A and B are shown apart, each in its own frame.
Chain A
Amino acid sequence: GENVEQHPSTLSVQEGDSAVIKCTYSDSASNYFPWYKQELGKGPQLIIDIRSNVGEKKDQRIAVTLNKTAKHFSLHITETQPEDSAVYFCAGSFGNEKLTFGTGTRLTIIP
Chain B
Amino acid sequence: DSGVTQTPKHLITATGQRVTLRCSPRSGDLSVYWYQQSLDQGLQFLIQYYNGEERAKGNILERFSAQQFPDLHSELNLSSLELGDSALYFCASTSGTGEKLFFGSGTQLSVL
Residues of A within 8 A of B (CB): 32, 34, 36, 41-46, 49, 89, 93, 96-104
Contacts and interface: CB of A to CB of B under 8 A. Distances in A.
B43 A97 contact: no
B99 A49 contact: yes
B100 A46 contact: yes
A103 B42 contact: yes
Nearest to B57: A98
A97 B45 contact: no
Contacts of B4: 43
A36 B50 CA distance: 22
Given A96-B56, A96-B98, A101 B42 contact: yes
A93 B99 contact: yes
Nearest to A4: B42
Contacts of B31: 97
Contacts of A89: 42-43
Contacts of B96: 97
Contact of B56 (A34, A97, A103): A97
A82 to B, nearest CB: 22
A98 B42 contact: no
Contact of B103 (A41, A43, A96, A102): A43
Given A43-B106, A101-B43, A102-B42, 8 more contacts: A41-B105, A44-B103, A89-B42, A98-B98, A101-B35, A101-B45, A103-B42, A104-B43
A46 B94 CA distance: 12
B55 interface: yes
